[in-house]
Every structure is written in structure tokens, then in C-alpha cells.
Amino acid sequence: MVTLLVIFILVVVLGLLVIAPYNALVRGRNEVKSAWSSIDVQLKRRYDLIPNLIETVKGYAGHERQTLEAVVQARQQAIDFSGNAEERAKVENALTTALRSLFAVAESYPDLKANQNFLALQEELANTENKIGFSRQFYNDMAKQYKNKVEMFPSNIVANIFGFKVEPFFEVESAGDRATPQVKF
């Protein structure tokens, strides 16, 4: 009778040692998915703003067709993309680069820079880019916490048993994006 009680207690304790890390891993995975969803919302908002920005620029800089087409193409690729977070980051970085080119073109047109619609769209897009940045940071924080749970003892044992995998970070792709911008007056 005592042996059965000891075995029962050992089974319960071992069960709890598996259940707690398992639940923490599930919670972490769900937090990463939720953080990714926040990025998706802001990206959708950016996609919706870009056509209005393009139309405004077209009226002033119609002969800058290559830059406009690059932005439209990068936007469409980003909208159509359905891969993982790591590949999504590459597509989004390409769109960001195309948008930078568009704003560089806009600098050449004083009338465009003074246009209220363009200024409002540029401001809205800048706010959206800031929100995307904050969402990316939050996602990376959640991915880091989850990665720690997947890789640290003893939860790594449970993660391996149940097939939990780390999520990729949303990182800057090109070295040019990491470079410090030059400011000249």
C-alpha cells in the first residue's frame, strides 16, 4: 500500500514537472503569434496608404516611373507573401527600401513637398512606420522570451518532447539599413 502511494506521488510530481513547462511554452508560442499579428495589422495599414501616396506623387513626378513601379511592385509582393516571419522580414525590408527611394524622389520636387495631401500622407506613413517598428520590437521581445523557454533547462526537455521550435527574429536585412545616416546642413 505504501509503495503504491509513493508511486502515485512520484507520477503526480513528474506530471506537474511536465505540465508547468508545457503550459509556459504554449503561452510563449501564443504570445509570439499575437505579437506577429500586431505587425500584420500595421503592415496592412502601410499597404493601404501606399496607393494614395503613389497617386499624389504621380501628379508631380510622372517621369519617375521606375521608382513608382518599384514601390508598387514591392507593395504587391508584400501583400501576396505568405511565408514565414524570417522571409516576411526580407520582403518588408524591400518595401521599406522602395519607399525610401520614393521619398528621395519627392525631395527633388518643391511643389510636391509643399502639397498638403503629400505631407499628410507622408506624416501618416511615418507614424505607421513607427508603429511597425514598435510592433517588431515587441515581437522580437516575445520571440526572445519564447526562445529562452525552448532552449533553457528544464523546459527544453519538454520542448523537445512536444516539438516546440524557436521563432525567428524580425531583423534588418541589409547592412545599409544598419548604417548611421549622414546628416548634412
* DSSP codes of every residue in 35-63: HHHHHHHHHHHHHHHHHHHHHHHHHH-TT
Q: Please compute the mean of the pLDDT values over residues 88-97 and round it to a whole number.
A: 88
Judge whether 149 and 28 are in contact, CB under 8 Å. Answer: yes
pLDDT band at 101 (very low <50, low <70, confident <90, very high): confident
pTM of structure: 0.76
Round to whole Å and give the CA distance between 183 and 24. 46
Alpha helices of the chain — where are they, by DSSP H? 2-60, 65-80, 85-106, 110-114, 116-151, 155-162, 175-178
Tell me which residue of 110, 133, 167, 149 sits closest to 43, measured CA to CA.
133
Look at domain 31-154 and name its CATH class.
mainly alpha
How much of the chain, in percent, has pLDDT values that exceed 90? 43
Task: Provide the residue type at 170 as one letter.
Answer: F
Q: Is pLDDT of 62 > 70?
A: no
Other CB atoms within 10 Å distance of the CB of residue 13: 10
Q: Could you report the per-residue pLDDT of 126-147, keeping only the tens digit for each?
A: 899 999 999 999 999 999 999 9
183: pLDDT strictly greater than 50? no
